[in-house]
């Protein structure tokens, strides 16, 4: 488990704009606007704020007491009371059957060495992106893993080297079928990324990963809360709900709540524009280099 200070030091090493003030490490996420370096760090309202010159436009942070908040952030949440005693008996009948089948088909183990699996992970990412592009839409276009493969590899190597970040793989035989990335900061566990190869979905590898990771979290009394992204499309929400996650919201305090919402819309619109432009500029599929075979 990482402390908030350790997480902040990692973010600073990755090039983020971090400073410490009032006992909290803050990140300047936009010019003159700050959030805690660990964005889910809970801080009592009025107990800490970033340096004024770094937060002229304001700041925000999570609060434990909803009465101290003035905005909320939607999230898929698994609280300690629901996590306590987690096991097969906690799951709906159909999901229990899927998990049993998954654990028969797949071996879940930590990914301790990235290099032998890096190309396989790239294939999994591309496979999931292509699957999502045909339906709900992909957060990262499949072309990223071909046209920008070298920069993607370097990004993965940097992130894998970070202390306290857990990479878990579900292996069907000798083949990595799916992987999940997670980490925990001061009792708050984040499920950062989970991806499955379309061709391996018949083995239910993500069920095996979720069950194994949540079982370990349940056995850790320090884990108070698990955050698993935001509510998204119904099928993904349903999958998470079968593992006891519930759609909810986290209370936040913002010194300029209205300005935050305006800036967020502008930023998300710009990010979406870049994603569309990247997809349009990507080379046609026929021109792409063929993927190497699975290990």
Does residue 10 form part of some domain?
A: yes
* pLDDT surpassing 60 at residue 224: yes
Unique residue bearing structure tokens 């009592």: 44
- CA-to-CA dists, residue 256 to 72, 74, 281, angstroms: 13, 19, 37
The answer on 210 and 113 residing in a single domain is yes
Query: What's the pTM value of the predicted model, to 2 decimals?
Result: 0.84
The answer on 269 and 163 residing in a single domain is no
Does residue 118 form part of some domain?
A: yes
* pLDDT surpassing 90 at residue 265: no
Report the pLDDT value the prediction gives residue 117, as an integer from 0 to 100.
Answer: 98
The answer on 93 and 47 residing in a single domain is no
Q: Which domain holds residue 193?
A: 76-249
Contact 1, 164 (CB under 8 A): yes
Does residue 295 form part of some domain?
A: no
Report the pLDDT value the prediction gives residue 134, as an integer from 0 to 100.
Answer: 79
The answer on 225 and 113 residing in a single domain is yes
The answer on 49 and 20 residing in a single domain is yes
The CB-based long-range contact list for 126-130 (8 Å cut-off, 24+ gap) reads: 126/291, 127/196, 127/197, 127/198, 127/199, 128/195, 128/196, 128/197, 128/198, 130/198
Q: What is the mean pLDDT of residues 134-144?
A: 78
The answer on 28 and 39 residing in a single domain is yes
The answer on 149 and 106 residing in a single domain is yes
* pLDDT surpassing 90 at residue 281: no
Contact 260, 254 (CB under 8 A): yes
Confidence of residue 135 (pLDDT cuts 50, 70, 90): confident
Q: Percentage of the chain with pLDDT > 90?
A: 80
Report the pLDDT value the prediction gives residue 292, as an integer from 0 to 100.
Answer: 39
Q: What is the mean pLDDT of residues 98-123?
A: 97
* pLDDT surpassing 70 at residue 100: yes
pLDDT tens per residue across span 147-189? 999 999 999 999 999 999 999 999 999 999 999 999 999 999 9
Does residue 190 form part of some domain?
A: yes
Confidence of residue 142 (pLDDT cuts 50, 70, 90): confident
Q: What is the mean pLDDT of residues 119-140?
A: 87
Q: Which of 98, 103, 147 is nearest to 278 (CA)?
A: 147
The answer on 258 and 142 residing in a single domain is no
Q: What is the mean pLDDT of residues 120-130?
A: 95
Q: What is the mean pLDDT of residues 222-239?
A: 95
Q: CB-hemisphere CA count at 13 Å for 98?
A: 18
Report the pLDDT value the prediction gives residue 258, as an integer from 0 to 100.
Answer: 67
The answer on 162 and 24 residing in a single domain is no
The answer on 256 and 245 residing in a single domain is no
The answer on 283 and 173 residing in a single domain is no
Rounded to an integer, what distance in angstroms lies between the CA atom of residue 56 and that of residue 34? 9
Confidence of residue 293 (pLDDT cuts 50, 70, 90): very low
Confidence of residue 284 (pLDDT cuts 50, 70, 90): low
Does residue 292 form part of some domain?
A: no
Report the pLDDT value the prediction gives residue 39, as an integer from 0 to 100.
Answer: 97
- In which element (H, E) is residue 113 found? none
The answer on 99 and 66 residing in a single domain is no
Does residue 204 form part of some domain?
A: yes
Does residue 55 form part of some domain?
A: yes
Number of compact structural domains in the chain: 2
Q: What is the CATH number of the domain that holds 224?
A: 3.40.630.30
* pLDDT surpassing 60 at residue 143: yes
Confidence of residue 10 (pLDDT cuts 50, 70, 90): very high
Report the pLDDT value the prediction gives residue 259, as an integer from 0 to 100.
Answer: 64
Q: What is the mean pLDDT of residues 41-64?
A: 96
Does residue 68 form part of some domain?
A: yes
């Amino acid at each position: 488990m990482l402390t908030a200070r350790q997480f902040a030091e990692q973010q600073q090493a990755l090039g983020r704009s971090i400073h410490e003030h009032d006992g909290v490490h803050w990140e300047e996420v936009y010019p003159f606007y700050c959030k805690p370096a660990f964005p889910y760090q809970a801080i009592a309202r009025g107990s800490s704020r970033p340096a004024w010159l770094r937060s002229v436009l304001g700041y925000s942070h999570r609060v434990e007491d909803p009465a101290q908040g003035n905005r909320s952030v939607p999230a898929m949440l698994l609280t300690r009371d629901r996590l306590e005693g987690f096991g097969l008996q906690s799951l709906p009948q159909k999901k229990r059957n899927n998990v049993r089948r998954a654990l028969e088909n797949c071996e879940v183990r930590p990914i301790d060495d990235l290099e032998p699996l890096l190309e396989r992970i790239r294939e999994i990412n591309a496979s999931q992106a292509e699957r999502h592009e045909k339906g709900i839409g992909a957060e990262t276009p499949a072309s990223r893993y071909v046209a920008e493969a070298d920069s993607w590899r370097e990004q993965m190597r940097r992130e894998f080297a970070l202390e306290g970040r857990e990479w878990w793989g579900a292996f069907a035989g000798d083949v990595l079928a799916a992987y999940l990335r997670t980490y925990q900061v001061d009792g708050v566990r984040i499920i950062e990324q989970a991806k499955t190869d379309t061709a391996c979905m018949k083995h239910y590898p993500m069920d095996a990963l979720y069950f194994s990771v949540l079982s370990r979290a349940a056995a850790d009394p320090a884990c108070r809360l698990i955050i698993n992204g935001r509510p998204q499309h119904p099928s993904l929400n349903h999958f998470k709900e079968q593992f006891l996650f519930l759609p909810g919201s986290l209370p936040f305090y913002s010194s300029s709540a209205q300005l935050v919402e305006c800036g967020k819309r502008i930023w998300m619109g710009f990010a979406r524009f870049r994603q569309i432009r990247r997809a349009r500029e990507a080379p046609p599929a026929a021109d792409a280099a063929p993927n190497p075979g699975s290990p």
